[in-house]
């Protein structure tokens, strides 16, 4: 069941108004957290949505999932890992600096937002967060907790030093299971091993939400499928411009063309063609690959512009 798209697209178009950074923190060697003053965006945020950040006139548009929001304080929290020129510049910003553009909220909210709370309380929900994927998982778990629903959460990272938001997640999760690939903290092994272990221990789940690197989400879905656990994933990691016009986040879901930024970012993970999606991401990294994809995919190469049918 797909959540209703947000009705709100908030942007301050006054040239002299910037989005001030109230807090800039380095969570570990590769991940940064910022609390940004953006009252109109915060007013309409829902779990599962994302924003687009732009540092200045020359900066790139960078889509980032919302990690947290405070409507009363008028703030939105973002978490990111520098992987390009723009996010490298973001990492150098300090408290008191500001972004020129902070657009959102965009995308469809988590499906929980539009469901009956009393029916949700009857479910047993499992969240699986991998690496920076812990950031978009947190607001969903927090939202459920605020509505009297405690979900189990698996947080996975390569090493102890790369685990993020553990205390915050522990405060809102029913049960929190931390695992590291190298066994340096918490349980030892991949998040899929923890899923297997929990089921073997007698745990039963009616739904799973998995967010993290594509390869992690793929194998989470393979694992949950054998236990008949419906699974939602977020394809935010493959977004580039956040409008569907670049064609980067084109994905096949149940045999249909979808775009993470205009149709998602969340989809039924058991219906995604993961092998094709990962192969496509590798091709998209080069100019030649992008040209080939555009040629092969024709009118369905991009969506969201209103002309190609990709957003229908």
- The answer to the question of whether 9 is labelled as a binding residue is no
- The answer to the question of whether 220 is labelled as a binding residue is no
User: What is the distance between the alpha carbons of residues 297 and 250, in angstroms, rounded to a whole number?
Assistant: 10
**Residue for token pair 């221990």:** 201
The two structure tokens encoding residue 295: 């040629």
- The answer to the question of whether 305 is labelled as a binding residue is no
- The answer to the question of whether 45 is labelled as a binding residue is no
Residues 311, 259: contact at Cβ < 8 Å?
yes
Picking from 102, 67, 99, the residue whose alpha carbon sits closest to that of residue 242 is 102
Residues 220, 210: contact at Cβ < 8 Å?
yes
What size, in residues, is the chain?
A: 312
Instruction: Kindly give, in sequence order, each residue whose CB lies less than 8 Å from that of residue 61, ignoring residues fewer than 6 positions away.
Output: 52, 53, 54, 101, 241, 242
Which residues does the annotation place in the binding site? 79-81, 246, 249, 261
Write out the binding residues for FAD. Answer: 79-81
Q: Which residues are annotated as a binding site for [2Fe-2S] cluster?
A: 246, 249, 261
């Amino acid at each position: 069941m797909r959540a209703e798209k947000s009705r709100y697209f908030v942007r301050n178009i006054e040239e002299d108004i910037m989005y001030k950074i109230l807090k800039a923190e380095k969570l570990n060697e590769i991940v940064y957290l910022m609390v940004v003053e953006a009252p109109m965006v915060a007013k309409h945020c829902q779990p599962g949505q994302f924003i687009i950040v732009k540092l200045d006139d020359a900066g790139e548009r960078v889509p980032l999932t919302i990690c947290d929001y405070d409507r009363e304080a008028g703030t939105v929290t973002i978490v990111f890992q520098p992987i390009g020129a723009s996010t490298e510049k973001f990492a150098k910003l300090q408290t008191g600096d500001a972004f020129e553009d902070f657009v959102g909220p965009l995308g469809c909210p988590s499906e929980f937002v539009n469901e009956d709370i009393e029916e949700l309380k009857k479910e047993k929900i499992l969240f699986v967060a991998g690496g920076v994927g812990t950031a978009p998982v947190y607001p969903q778990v927090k939202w459920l907790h605020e509505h009297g629903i405690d979900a189990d959460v698996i947080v996975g990272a390569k090493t102890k030093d790369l685990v993020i938001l553990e205390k915050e997640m522990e405060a809102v999760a029913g049960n929190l299971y931390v695992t590291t690939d190298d066994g340096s903290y918490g349980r030892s092994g991949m998040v899929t091993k923890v899923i297997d272990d929990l089921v073997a221990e007698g745990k039963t789940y009616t739904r799973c939400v998995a967010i993290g690197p594509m390869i992690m989400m793929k194998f989470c879905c393979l694992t949950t499928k054998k236990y008949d656990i419906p699974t939602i994933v977020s394809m935010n990691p493959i977004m580039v411009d956040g409008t569907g016009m670049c064609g980067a986040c084109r994905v096949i879901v149940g045999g249909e063309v979808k775009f993470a930024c205009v149709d998602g970012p969340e989809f039924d993970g058991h219906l995604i063609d993961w092998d094709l999606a990962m192969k496509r991401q590798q091709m998209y990294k080069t100019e030649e690959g992008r040209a080939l994809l555009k040629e092969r995919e024709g009118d369905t190469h991009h969506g969201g512009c209103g002309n190609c049918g990709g957003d229908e």
